[in-house]
Amino acid sequence: MKRKLAAFVATGGLLTALFATNPTFAQKQGGILKMYSPDSPASMSIHEEATIISERPMMG
């Protein structure tokens, strides 16, 4: 009897969690895609930059 009650409560909690969530993070049509591009370095000085991403384009 306790197992059936526990299974019923767990199933009810799972269904409540599934249907209570808001799908606001879904992809939408249109808009602007914003993403960080590590290929555009902050400056042209290889002596001031510390990462290989900013140094590699300047070294040829």
Count of other CB atoms within 10 angstroms of residue 11: 10
- In a 13 Å sphere around the CA of 34, the CA atoms on its Cβ side amount to 1
Long-range contacts of the stretch 19-22 (C-beta < 8 A, 24+): none
Residue-wise pLDDT tens digits, 4-28 = 899 999 999 998 888 877 766 666 7
Percent of the chain with pLDDT over 90: 15
